Structure 1
Amino acid sequence: MAKRSKRYTQAAALVDATKAYGLDSAVEVIKSFPAPKFDSTVTLSFALGVDPRKSDQMVRGSVALPHGTGKNVRVVVFATGDAAKAAEAAGADKVGMDDLIKEVQGGFTDFDVAIATPDAMAEVRKIARVLGPRGLMPNPKTGTVTEDTAAAIAEVKAGRIDYKIDKSGNVSAAVGKVSFDAAKLVENAQAFVDSIVKAKPASAKGNYIKSATVTASMNPGVKLDSSVYSVTA
Protein backbone atom coordinates (compact mmCIF):
# COMPACT_ATOMS: atom_id res chain seq x y z
CA MET A 1 0.00 0.00 0.00
CA ALA A 2 1.31 3.44 -0.92
CA LYS A 3 2.38 5.60 1.99
CA ARG A 4 -0.08 8.39 2.71
CA SER A 5 1.06 11.98 3.17
CA LYS A 6 0.93 13.64 6.57
CA ARG A 7 -1.84 15.95 5.33
CA TYR A 8 -3.94 12.98 4.10
CA THR A 9 -3.45 11.19 7.42
CA GLN A 10 -4.57 14.29 9.29
CA ALA A 11 -7.66 14.53 7.09
CA ALA A 12 -8.48 10.84 7.57
CA ALA A 13 -8.39 11.33 11.32
CA LEU A 14 -11.29 13.76 10.97
CA VAL A 15 -13.53 11.14 9.33
CA ASP A 16 -15.43 8.56 11.37
CA ALA A 17 -15.14 5.49 9.12
CA THR A 18 -17.98 3.77 10.99
CA LYS A 19 -20.42 6.60 10.35
CA ALA A 20 -22.66 7.50 7.43
CA TYR A 21 -22.94 11.28 7.28
CA GLY A 22 -25.74 13.56 6.25
CA LEU A 23 -24.88 15.78 3.29
CA ASP A 24 -24.52 18.94 5.42
CA SER A 25 -22.23 17.17 7.91
CA ALA A 26 -20.14 15.57 5.17
CA VAL A 27 -19.49 18.96 3.56
CA GLU A 28 -18.49 20.39 6.93
CA VAL A 29 -15.97 17.56 7.39
CA ILE A 30 -14.50 18.07 3.92
CA LYS A 31 -14.12 21.82 4.50
CA SER A 32 -12.27 21.07 7.75
CA PHE A 33 -9.55 19.04 6.01
CA PRO A 34 -6.02 20.51 5.92
CA ALA A 35 -5.88 22.31 2.58
CA PRO A 36 -3.49 21.29 -0.22
CA LYS A 37 -1.78 23.96 -2.30
CA PHE A 38 -4.72 24.20 -4.68
CA ASP A 39 -8.50 24.54 -4.56
CA SER A 40 -9.69 20.92 -4.34
CA THR A 41 -12.58 19.73 -6.48
CA VAL A 42 -15.48 18.22 -4.56
CA THR A 43 -16.90 15.10 -6.20
CA LEU A 44 -20.08 13.19 -5.40
CA SER A 45 -20.09 9.50 -6.35
CA PHE A 46 -22.81 6.82 -6.34
CA ALA A 47 -22.82 3.05 -6.64
CA LEU A 48 -26.15 2.23 -8.29
CA GLY A 49 -28.18 -0.97 -8.21
CA VAL A 50 -28.53 -1.25 -11.98
CA ASP A 51 -27.09 -3.55 -14.63
CA PRO A 52 -25.13 -1.36 -17.09
CA ARG A 53 -25.09 -4.24 -19.58
CA LYS A 54 -28.81 -3.76 -20.14
CA SER A 55 -29.74 -0.83 -22.37
CA ASP A 56 -32.96 -0.21 -20.44
CA GLN A 57 -30.97 0.29 -17.22
CA MET A 58 -28.62 2.95 -18.54
CA VAL A 59 -28.39 5.96 -16.25
CA ARG A 60 -27.27 9.17 -17.88
CA GLY A 61 -28.39 12.76 -17.89
CA SER A 62 -27.46 16.32 -17.11
CA VAL A 63 -28.17 18.78 -14.36
CA ALA A 64 -27.61 22.51 -13.93
CA LEU A 65 -25.75 23.14 -10.69
CA PRO A 66 -27.18 26.29 -9.06
CA HIS A 67 -23.71 27.61 -8.19
CA GLY A 68 -21.63 26.20 -11.05
CA THR A 69 -18.64 23.89 -10.71
CA GLY A 70 -15.95 26.51 -10.19
CA LYS A 71 -14.19 25.08 -13.22
CA ASN A 72 -13.39 26.70 -16.54
CA VAL A 73 -15.32 24.38 -18.87
CA ARG A 74 -13.64 23.86 -22.24
CA VAL A 75 -16.20 23.46 -25.03
CA VAL A 76 -15.78 22.42 -28.65
CA VAL A 77 -18.56 22.68 -31.19
CA PHE A 78 -19.04 20.71 -34.38
CA ALA A 79 -21.00 23.01 -36.66
CA THR A 80 -20.95 25.08 -39.83
CA GLY A 81 -22.62 28.26 -41.04
CA ASP A 82 -24.69 30.38 -38.66
CA ALA A 83 -24.53 27.79 -35.88
CA ALA A 84 -20.72 27.91 -35.99
CA LYS A 85 -20.70 31.72 -35.91
CA ALA A 86 -23.11 31.69 -32.94
CA ALA A 87 -20.87 29.20 -31.12
CA GLU A 88 -17.80 31.39 -31.64
CA ALA A 89 -19.67 34.46 -30.39
CA ALA A 90 -20.88 32.50 -27.34
CA GLY A 91 -17.33 31.66 -26.27
CA ALA A 92 -16.69 28.16 -27.59
CA ASP A 93 -13.04 27.21 -27.18
CA LYS A 94 -12.89 25.63 -30.62
CA VAL A 95 -15.40 25.46 -33.49
CA GLY A 96 -15.13 23.46 -36.68
CA MET A 97 -16.29 20.53 -38.72
CA ASP A 98 -14.02 18.41 -40.93
CA ASP A 99 -10.91 20.07 -39.53
CA LEU A 100 -12.02 19.55 -35.94
CA ILE A 101 -12.93 15.93 -36.63
CA LYS A 102 -9.43 15.34 -38.03
CA GLU A 103 -7.92 16.90 -34.91
CA VAL A 104 -9.90 14.53 -32.69
CA GLN A 105 -8.93 11.58 -34.87
CA GLY A 106 -5.35 12.69 -34.36
CA GLY A 107 -5.70 12.54 -30.59
CA PHE A 108 -7.08 15.94 -29.60
CA THR A 109 -9.41 15.48 -26.60
CA ASP A 110 -8.33 18.45 -24.49
CA PHE A 111 -11.88 19.62 -23.79
CA ASP A 112 -14.69 18.92 -21.32
CA VAL A 113 -17.83 19.11 -23.45
CA ALA A 114 -18.56 18.55 -27.14
CA ILE A 115 -21.63 20.09 -28.75
CA ALA A 116 -22.89 19.39 -32.28
CA THR A 117 -25.73 20.48 -34.50
CA PRO A 118 -28.08 17.68 -35.65
CA ASP A 119 -26.82 17.83 -39.24
CA ALA A 120 -23.22 17.50 -38.04
CA MET A 121 -23.83 14.21 -36.25
CA ALA A 122 -23.42 12.04 -39.35
CA GLU A 123 -19.78 13.14 -39.45
CA VAL A 124 -19.28 13.28 -35.68
CA ARG A 125 -20.29 9.62 -35.39
CA LYS A 126 -17.06 8.79 -37.23
CA ILE A 127 -15.17 9.69 -34.05
CA ALA A 128 -17.59 8.03 -31.63
CA ARG A 129 -14.89 5.52 -30.66
CA VAL A 130 -12.74 8.41 -29.47
CA LEU A 131 -15.43 10.52 -27.83
CA GLY A 132 -17.68 7.79 -26.42
CA PRO A 133 -15.30 6.14 -23.93
CA ARG A 134 -14.38 9.59 -22.59
CA GLY A 135 -17.99 10.62 -22.08
CA LEU A 136 -17.65 13.36 -24.71
CA MET A 137 -20.04 12.13 -27.41
CA PRO A 138 -22.77 14.73 -28.12
CA ASN A 139 -26.21 13.42 -27.20
CA PRO A 140 -29.70 14.94 -27.56
CA LYS A 141 -30.61 13.69 -24.05
CA THR A 142 -27.95 15.90 -22.49
CA GLY A 143 -28.71 18.91 -24.69
CA THR A 144 -25.41 18.67 -26.56
CA VAL A 145 -27.02 17.97 -29.94
CA THR A 146 -28.86 21.17 -30.78
CA GLU A 147 -29.31 23.91 -33.35
CA ASP A 148 -29.02 26.52 -30.60
CA THR A 149 -25.30 26.18 -29.98
CA ALA A 150 -25.07 29.50 -28.13
CA ALA A 151 -27.64 28.45 -25.52
CA ALA A 152 -25.96 25.07 -25.03
CA ILE A 153 -22.58 26.72 -24.48
CA ALA A 154 -24.07 29.16 -21.98
CA GLU A 155 -25.59 26.27 -20.00
CA VAL A 156 -22.45 24.16 -19.74
CA LYS A 157 -20.21 27.10 -18.91
CA ALA A 158 -22.67 28.26 -16.25
CA GLY A 159 -22.52 24.93 -14.45
CA ARG A 160 -24.45 22.21 -16.24
CA ILE A 161 -22.84 18.81 -15.77
CA ASP A 162 -23.38 15.63 -17.77
CA TYR A 163 -23.10 12.22 -16.16
CA LYS A 164 -23.21 8.56 -17.20
CA ILE A 165 -22.74 5.30 -15.31
CA ASP A 166 -19.61 3.28 -15.96
CA LYS A 167 -19.37 -0.47 -16.61
CA SER A 168 -19.54 -1.18 -12.88
CA GLY A 169 -22.72 0.82 -12.28
CA ASN A 170 -20.94 3.79 -10.69
CA VAL A 171 -21.55 7.43 -11.52
CA SER A 172 -19.84 10.57 -10.28
CA ALA A 173 -19.55 14.27 -10.99
CA ALA A 174 -17.79 17.34 -9.66
CA VAL A 175 -20.18 19.53 -7.67
CA GLY A 176 -17.91 22.44 -6.81
CA LYS A 177 -14.71 23.50 -5.08
CA VAL A 178 -13.73 23.32 -1.41
CA SER A 179 -13.53 27.13 -1.43
CA PHE A 180 -17.29 27.35 -2.05
CA ASP A 181 -19.50 28.30 0.89
CA ALA A 182 -20.79 25.14 2.58
CA ALA A 183 -24.39 26.02 1.74
CA LYS A 184 -23.56 26.35 -1.96
CA LEU A 185 -21.75 23.02 -2.01
CA VAL A 186 -24.72 21.35 -0.34
CA GLU A 187 -27.17 22.90 -2.82
CA ASN A 188 -25.04 21.79 -5.78
CA ALA A 189 -24.69 18.28 -4.38
CA GLN A 190 -28.41 18.05 -3.67
CA ALA A 191 -29.20 19.06 -7.25
CA PHE A 192 -27.02 16.16 -8.46
CA VAL A 193 -28.68 13.75 -6.00
CA ASP A 194 -32.14 14.80 -7.17
CA SER A 195 -31.14 14.28 -10.81
CA ILE A 196 -29.77 10.78 -10.09
CA VAL A 197 -32.96 9.83 -8.26
CA LYS A 198 -35.08 11.13 -11.13
CA ALA A 199 -32.98 9.16 -13.63
CA LYS A 200 -33.84 5.78 -12.05
CA PRO A 201 -34.70 3.35 -14.88
CA ALA A 202 -38.20 1.89 -14.65
CA SER A 203 -36.74 -1.60 -15.15
CA ALA A 204 -34.27 -1.33 -12.24
CA LYS A 205 -35.33 -3.50 -9.30
CA GLY A 206 -34.29 -3.47 -5.66
CA ASN A 207 -32.26 -0.76 -3.97
CA TYR A 208 -31.33 1.85 -6.56
CA ILE A 209 -28.74 3.90 -4.64
CA LYS A 210 -26.49 1.36 -2.92
CA SER A 211 -23.94 3.85 -1.58
CA ALA A 212 -22.83 7.45 -1.93
CA THR A 213 -19.56 9.17 -1.12
CA VAL A 214 -18.37 12.76 -1.24
CA THR A 215 -14.68 13.46 -1.69
CA ALA A 216 -12.26 16.31 -2.24
CA SER A 217 -9.15 15.97 -4.41
CA MET A 218 -6.27 14.17 -2.68
CA ASN A 219 -8.37 13.58 0.46
CA PRO A 220 -10.24 10.62 1.94
CA GLY A 221 -13.86 10.05 1.03
CA VAL A 222 -16.76 10.71 3.40
CA LYS A 223 -19.52 8.12 3.29
CA LEU A 224 -23.03 9.53 2.99
CA ASP A 225 -26.17 8.12 4.56
CA SER A 226 -27.55 6.75 1.29
CA SER A 227 -30.74 5.53 2.99
CA VAL A 228 -31.95 9.12 2.82
CA TYR A 229 -31.90 8.82 -0.98
CA SER A 230 -33.01 5.19 -1.08
CA VAL A 231 -35.23 4.41 -4.05
CA THR A 232 -36.63 0.90 -4.43
CA ALA A 233 -38.78 -0.76 -7.04
Structure 2
Amino acid sequence: MVKIRSRRFKILQSQISVEKMCEPIEAINLLKSGPKAKFSETFEVHCCLDLNTKYSDQQLRASVVLPKGTGKRTKIAVITNEAEVNKIKNFGVDIVGSKDLVESIANGFLEFDQLLTTPDMMPVIAKVGKILGPRGLMPSPKSGSVTSDIYNAIQEFKKGKLEYRTDKSGIVHSIIGKIDFTAEDLLNNLIAIKKSIDQNRPNGAKGKYWKNMYLCTTMSPAIKIDFNKLQELEKNYGQN
Protein backbone atom coordinates (compact mmCIF):
# COMPACT_ATOMS: atom_id res chain seq x y z
CA MET A 1 0.00 0.00 0.00
CA VAL A 2 1.30 3.46 -0.93
CA LYS A 3 1.70 5.69 2.12
CA ILE A 4 -0.01 9.06 1.65
CA ARG A 5 2.14 11.95 2.88
CA SER A 6 0.76 15.26 4.12
CA ARG A 7 1.27 18.51 2.22
CA ARG A 8 3.58 19.88 4.92
CA PHE A 9 5.66 16.67 4.86
CA LYS A 10 6.13 17.07 1.09
CA ILE A 11 7.11 20.73 1.49
CA LEU A 12 9.80 19.83 4.02
CA GLN A 13 10.94 16.89 1.93
CA SER A 14 11.45 19.21 -1.05
CA GLN A 15 13.82 21.31 1.08
CA ILE A 16 15.94 18.35 2.19
CA SER A 17 18.57 16.65 0.05
CA VAL A 18 18.76 12.92 0.76
CA GLU A 19 22.48 12.92 -0.06
CA LYS A 20 23.44 16.07 1.83
CA MET A 21 24.53 16.03 5.46
CA CYS A 22 23.51 19.09 7.47
CA GLU A 23 25.32 20.77 10.30
CA PRO A 24 23.35 20.18 13.53
CA ILE A 25 22.14 23.76 13.99
CA GLU A 26 21.25 24.01 10.29
CA ALA A 27 19.13 20.86 10.53
CA ILE A 28 17.41 22.08 13.69
CA ASN A 29 16.58 25.46 12.16
CA LEU A 30 15.33 23.85 8.94
CA LEU A 31 12.95 21.60 10.87
CA LYS A 32 11.78 24.50 13.04
CA SER A 33 11.13 26.74 10.03
CA GLY A 34 8.94 24.29 8.14
CA PRO A 35 5.12 24.33 7.99
CA LYS A 36 3.66 23.92 11.47
CA ALA A 37 1.45 21.05 12.59
CA LYS A 38 -1.69 21.62 14.67
CA PHE A 39 0.09 20.35 17.79
CA SER A 40 3.49 20.84 19.42
CA GLU A 41 5.71 18.36 17.61
CA THR A 42 8.52 16.50 19.34
CA PHE A 43 12.10 16.65 18.08
CA GLU A 44 13.54 13.15 17.65
CA VAL A 45 17.08 11.87 17.17
CA HIS A 46 17.85 8.47 15.67
CA CYS A 47 21.40 7.23 16.32
CA CYS A 48 22.61 4.36 14.14
CA LEU A 49 25.37 2.43 15.94
CA ASP A 50 27.60 -0.39 14.72
CA LEU A 51 26.33 -2.89 17.29
CA ASN A 52 25.09 -6.46 16.92
CA THR A 53 22.48 -6.55 19.66
CA LYS A 54 22.06 -10.33 19.56
CA TYR A 55 25.20 -10.35 21.74
CA SER A 56 24.65 -9.19 25.31
CA ASP A 57 27.95 -7.27 25.43
CA GLN A 58 26.83 -5.16 22.45
CA GLN A 59 23.50 -4.08 23.91
CA LEU A 60 23.16 -0.49 25.07
CA ARG A 61 20.74 0.67 27.73
CA ALA A 62 21.33 3.80 29.78
CA SER A 63 19.79 7.10 30.81
CA VAL A 64 20.61 10.78 30.43
CA VAL A 65 19.40 13.99 32.01
CA LEU A 66 18.57 16.43 29.23
CA PRO A 67 19.93 19.80 30.43
CA LYS A 68 17.01 21.68 28.89
CA GLY A 69 14.33 19.13 29.79
CA THR A 70 12.11 17.05 27.53
CA GLY A 71 9.22 19.46 27.14
CA LYS A 72 6.76 16.85 28.28
CA ARG A 73 5.44 15.78 31.65
CA THR A 74 6.54 12.28 32.58
CA LYS A 75 3.99 10.26 34.55
CA ILE A 76 6.06 8.42 37.16
CA ALA A 77 5.11 5.26 39.04
CA VAL A 78 7.09 3.99 42.03
CA ILE A 79 7.05 0.50 43.51
CA THR A 80 8.57 0.36 46.98
CA ASN A 81 8.13 -1.38 50.32
CA GLU A 82 5.01 -0.72 52.38
CA ALA A 83 6.87 1.44 54.91
CA GLU A 84 7.89 3.99 52.24
CA VAL A 85 4.62 4.26 50.30
CA ASN A 86 3.09 7.17 52.21
CA LYS A 87 6.37 9.13 52.30
CA ILE A 88 6.76 8.88 48.53
CA LYS A 89 3.11 9.85 47.98
CA ASN A 90 3.87 13.09 49.81
CA PHE A 91 6.84 13.63 47.45
CA GLY A 92 4.51 14.42 44.57
CA VAL A 93 4.65 11.16 42.62
CA ASP A 94 1.74 10.25 40.34
CA ILE A 95 1.42 6.56 41.26
CA VAL A 96 2.90 4.80 44.30
CA GLY A 97 2.39 1.28 45.56
CA SER A 98 3.99 -1.92 46.73
CA LYS A 99 2.85 -5.48 45.97
CA ASP A 100 -0.61 -4.08 45.26
CA LEU A 101 0.74 -2.04 42.33
CA VAL A 102 2.56 -5.09 40.97
CA GLU A 103 -0.76 -6.93 41.09
CA SER A 104 -2.46 -4.08 39.23
CA ILE A 105 0.21 -4.25 36.51
CA ALA A 106 -0.34 -8.00 36.25
CA ASN A 107 -4.00 -7.21 35.61
CA GLY A 108 -3.20 -4.76 32.81
CA PHE A 109 -2.64 -1.40 34.51
CA LEU A 110 0.06 0.49 32.59
CA GLU A 111 -0.98 4.14 32.85
CA PHE A 112 2.52 5.54 33.46
CA ASP A 113 5.56 6.56 31.42
CA GLN A 114 8.35 5.64 33.82
CA LEU A 115 8.59 2.99 36.54
CA LEU A 116 11.06 3.42 39.40
CA THR A 117 11.81 1.00 42.20
CA THR A 118 14.24 0.00 44.93
CA PRO A 119 16.52 -3.08 44.72
CA ASP A 120 14.58 -5.00 47.39
CA MET A 121 11.42 -4.94 45.24
CA MET A 122 12.99 -6.37 42.07
CA PRO A 123 12.16 -10.02 42.90
CA VAL A 124 8.49 -9.01 43.16
CA ILE A 125 8.58 -6.93 39.97
CA ALA A 126 10.24 -9.80 38.08
CA LYS A 127 6.84 -11.52 38.12
CA VAL A 128 5.51 -8.92 35.67
CA GLY A 129 8.71 -8.66 33.63
CA LYS A 130 7.04 -10.16 30.56
CA ILE A 131 4.48 -7.34 30.66
CA LEU A 132 6.89 -4.48 31.36
CA GLY A 133 9.86 -5.60 29.24
CA PRO A 134 8.34 -5.43 25.74
CA ARG A 135 6.98 -1.95 26.54
CA GLY A 136 10.35 -0.61 27.68
CA LEU A 137 9.05 -0.13 31.23
CA MET A 138 11.09 -2.75 33.13
CA PRO A 139 13.29 -0.97 35.71
CA SER A 140 17.05 -1.43 35.38
CA PRO A 141 20.07 -0.37 37.48
CA LYS A 142 21.84 0.66 34.24
CA SER A 143 19.21 3.27 33.50
CA GLY A 144 18.95 4.51 37.07
CA SER A 145 15.38 3.30 37.48
CA VAL A 146 16.42 0.76 40.14
CA THR A 147 18.09 2.63 42.97
CA SER A 148 18.35 2.88 46.74
CA ASP A 149 18.13 6.68 46.43
CA ILE A 150 14.57 6.69 45.13
CA TYR A 151 13.94 10.34 46.04
CA ASN A 152 16.86 11.58 43.94
CA ALA A 153 15.73 9.36 41.04
CA ILE A 154 12.24 10.86 41.20
CA GLN A 155 13.67 14.39 41.03
CA GLU A 156 15.95 13.53 38.09
CA PHE A 157 13.20 11.94 36.00
CA LYS A 158 10.93 14.90 36.74
CA LYS A 159 13.64 17.30 35.54
CA GLY A 160 14.11 15.57 32.20
CA LYS A 161 15.98 12.31 32.70
CA LEU A 162 15.06 9.72 30.12
CA GLU A 163 16.01 6.15 29.32
CA TYR A 164 17.24 4.97 25.95
CA ARG A 165 18.28 1.66 24.46
CA THR A 166 19.25 0.12 21.16
CA ASP A 167 16.59 -1.62 19.14
CA LYS A 168 17.25 -4.89 17.30
CA SER A 169 19.02 -3.00 14.51
CA GLY A 170 21.41 -1.18 16.85
CA ILE A 171 19.56 2.14 16.62
CA VAL A 172 18.85 4.43 19.57
CA HIS A 173 15.61 6.41 19.22
CA SER A 174 15.22 9.34 21.59
CA ILE A 175 13.57 12.72 21.98
CA ILE A 176 15.49 15.96 22.50
CA GLY A 177 12.64 18.38 23.16
CA LYS A 178 9.73 20.16 21.53
CA ILE A 179 9.58 22.23 18.35
CA ASP A 180 9.01 25.40 20.39
CA PHE A 181 12.38 24.95 22.17
CA THR A 182 15.09 27.36 21.02
CA ALA A 183 17.61 25.95 18.56
CA GLU A 184 20.33 26.34 21.21
CA ASP A 185 18.36 24.33 23.78
CA LEU A 186 17.72 21.55 21.27
CA LEU A 187 21.42 21.50 20.40
CA ASN A 188 22.32 21.29 24.10
CA ASN A 189 20.06 18.28 24.51
CA LEU A 190 21.40 16.66 21.33
CA ILE A 191 24.98 16.98 22.58
CA ALA A 192 23.95 15.51 25.95
CA ILE A 193 22.49 12.44 24.21
CA LYS A 194 25.61 12.02 22.07
CA LYS A 195 27.92 12.28 25.10
CA SER A 196 25.87 9.77 27.07
CA ILE A 197 25.91 7.22 24.24
CA ASP A 198 29.71 7.59 24.02
CA GLN A 199 30.16 7.25 27.78
CA ASN A 200 28.04 4.10 27.88
CA ARG A 201 29.69 2.35 24.92
CA PRO A 202 29.18 -1.41 25.40
CA ASN A 203 32.28 -3.49 26.16
CA GLY A 204 31.67 -5.63 23.08
CA ALA A 205 31.68 -2.68 20.67
CA LYS A 206 34.79 -2.92 18.49
CA GLY A 207 36.13 -0.52 15.89
CA LYS A 208 33.80 2.11 14.50
CA TYR A 209 30.97 2.82 16.94
CA TRP A 210 28.86 5.47 15.21
CA LYS A 211 27.38 4.96 11.75
CA ASN A 212 24.89 7.80 11.22
CA MET A 213 22.63 10.20 13.07
CA TYR A 214 19.31 11.62 11.89
CA LEU A 215 17.05 14.39 13.19
CA CYS A 216 13.35 14.80 12.55
CA THR A 217 10.16 16.02 14.17
CA THR A 218 7.03 13.96 14.75
CA MET A 219 5.64 14.70 11.29
CA SER A 220 8.73 15.54 9.23
CA PRO A 221 11.17 13.62 7.05
CA ALA A 222 14.58 12.89 8.61
CA ILE A 223 17.73 14.94 8.05
CA LYS A 224 21.16 13.29 8.13
CA ILE A 225 23.51 15.07 10.54
CA ASP A 226 27.14 15.92 9.77
CA PHE A 227 28.63 13.90 12.62
CA ASN A 228 32.08 15.50 12.39
CA LYS A 229 30.51 18.93 12.89
CA LEU A 230 28.61 17.63 15.91
CA GLN A 231 31.85 16.35 17.44
CA GLU A 232 33.45 19.76 16.92
CA LEU A 233 30.50 21.43 18.62
CA GLU A 234 30.67 18.99 21.51
CA LYS A 235 34.21 20.14 22.34
CA ASN A 236 33.27 23.80 22.51
CA TYR A 237 29.57 24.04 23.31
CA GLY A 238 28.69 24.94 26.90
CA GLN A 239 25.48 23.56 28.36
CA ASN A 240 24.06 26.86 29.57
Same fold (TM > 0.5):
yes
The answer to whether structure 1 residue 159 and structure 2 residue 160 are counterparts is yes
In 2, the alpha carbon distance for the partners of 1:221 and 1:200 equals 25
In 1, the alpha carbon distance for the partners of 2:75 and 2:224 equals 31
Q: Compute the displacement of 1:202 (Å).
A: 3.0
In 2, the alpha carbon distance for the partners of 1:65 and 1:82 equals 32
Cα deviations across residues 187-231 of structure 1 (Å, max 9, x unaligned)? 00110011111222232123211111111011111111234568x
CA contact (8 A) 1:210 1:226 kept: no
Residue identity opposite 1:38 in structure 2:
F
SS at structure 1 position matched to 2:219: coil
Residue identity opposite 2:221 in structure 1:
P
Matching residue of 2:138: 137
In 2, the alpha carbon distance for the partners of 1:29 and 1:205 equals 34
Cα deviations across residues 103-123 of structure 1 (Å, max 9, x unaligned)? 211222221110011111110
Matching residue of 1:117: 118
SS at structure 2 position matched to 1:195: helix
Residue identity opposite 1:151 in structure 2:
N
Matching residue of 1:88: 89
Matching residue of 2:175: 174
Cα 1:120–1:202, aligned 2, differ >3 Å: closer, same or farther? Answer: closer
Matching residue of 2:236: none
Q: Which moved more, 1:14-23 or 1:153-162?
A: 14-23
Cα 1:65–1:174, aligned 2, differ >3 Å: closer, same or farther? Answer: same
Cα 1:202–1:80, aligned 2, differ >3 Å: closer, same or farther? Answer: closer
Cα 1:101–1:123, aligned 2, differ >3 Å: closer, same or farther? Answer: same
Q: Compute the displacement of 1:87 (Å).
A: 2.3
The answer to whether structure 1 residue 212 and structure 2 residue 191 are counterparts is no
Q: Which moved more, 1:95-104 or 1:183-192?
A: 95-104
Scaled by the length of structure 2, the TM-score of the pair is: 0.91
SS at structure 2 position matched to 1:7: helix
Matching residue of 2:54: 53
Residue identity opposite 1:119 in structure 2:
D
CA contact (8 A) 1:83 1:149 kept: no
Cα 1:76–1:116, aligned 2, differ >3 Å: closer, same or farther? Answer: same
Q: Compute the displacement of 1:186 (Å).
A: 0.4
CA contact (8 A) 1:86 1:150 kept: no
Give 5+ residue unaligned stretches, structure 2.
232-240
Scaled by the length of structure 1, the TM-score of the pair is: 0.93
In 1, the alpha carbon distance for the partners of 2:84 and 2:164 equals 25
Matching residue of 1:97: 98
SS at structure 2 position matched to 1:206: coil
Q: Which moved more, 1:17-26 or 1:82-91?
A: 82-91
Give 5+ residue unaligned stretches, structure 1.
none
In 1, the alpha carbon distance for the partners of 2:56 and 2:229 equals 27
Residue identity opposite 1:210 in structure 2:
K
In 2, the alpha carbon distance for the partners of 1:49 and 1:227 equals 17
Q: Compute the displacement of 1:82 (Å).
A: 4.4
Matching residue of 1:11: 12
Q: Compute the displacement of 1:43 (Å).
A: 0.8
Matching residue of 1:222: 223
